[in-house]
Amino acid sequence: MAKRKIITGNDPVLRTVCAPVQKITPGIVRLLDDMVETMRAAEGVGLAGPQVGVLRRVIVVETEPGNVYRLINPEIVAQSGEQEGPEGCLSLPGESGCVKRPMNVTVKGLDPDGNEVTVEAEGFLARAFCHETDHLNGILYPDKAEYMNTPDPDPEEEKMTPAAYRRHRAAGKKSR
């Protein structure tokens, strides 16, 4: 396994809709292992292909240490309920926001051996699968946030509307 570089900021790679994996090659299996290593090194709970510059529909999720999911062509096939809570992203370091997600999701995909896998996820795990599958469609969580926490908290204004957040990013992070 090898650690890969995590793409951050306004990189258009993070805004690209990823292509399905047609064939599970040794390269795809290695990619998933590398993504697990990269996620753990960064102390994240999930990572998607585009975050390491690979525009393929692959994700890894590990909300409980040791219980890691490596999914190819994942799809959320059912969802129910609602939860609202804080979310962050390894590609948007130092930022967080409040995002509404379903409380329960059913995720289908393939494991690295090509077996069909169905995961019934609840709570934080459901949130992680929603976040990671969004990445495969070029969606970042601030797009869906109720509000963003200001990166530089001002006691007068601790929350930022999504529109204010977009202006903040456009204005302040061009040099990245």
Taking the least distance from each CB to Zn ion, the nearer of 60 and 89 is 89
Catalytic residue (choose from 87, 132, 156, 158): 132
The residue ranges of DSSP E strands in the chain, in sequence order, are 46-48, 58-64, 67-80, 83-87, 96-101, 104-110, 116-122, 145-154, 157-160
For residue 99, give the nearest of 46, 49, 151, 149 by alpha carbon: 149
Q: 19: which DSSP letter? A: B
* Tokens coding 93: 């370091």
Scanning 19-27, 68-76, 84-92, 157-165 for contacts with Zn ion by CB under 5 A, the matching segment is 84-92
For this structure, is 132 an active site residue? Answer: yes
Taking the least distance from each CB to Zn ion, the nearer of 24 and 42 is 42
Taking the least distance from each CB to Zn ion, the nearer of 28 and 89 is 89
> Could you tell me the smallest distance in angstroms from the CB atom of residue 123 to Zn ion?
18
* Residue of the chain from 31, 60, 89, 145 that contacts Zn ion (CB under 5 A): 89
Restricted to residues 1-40, the positions that interact with Zn ion (CB under 5 A) are: none
CA 78 to chain centre: 18
Q: Which positions lie near Zn ion, rule CB under 5 A?
A: 89
Residues carrying an active site annotation: 132
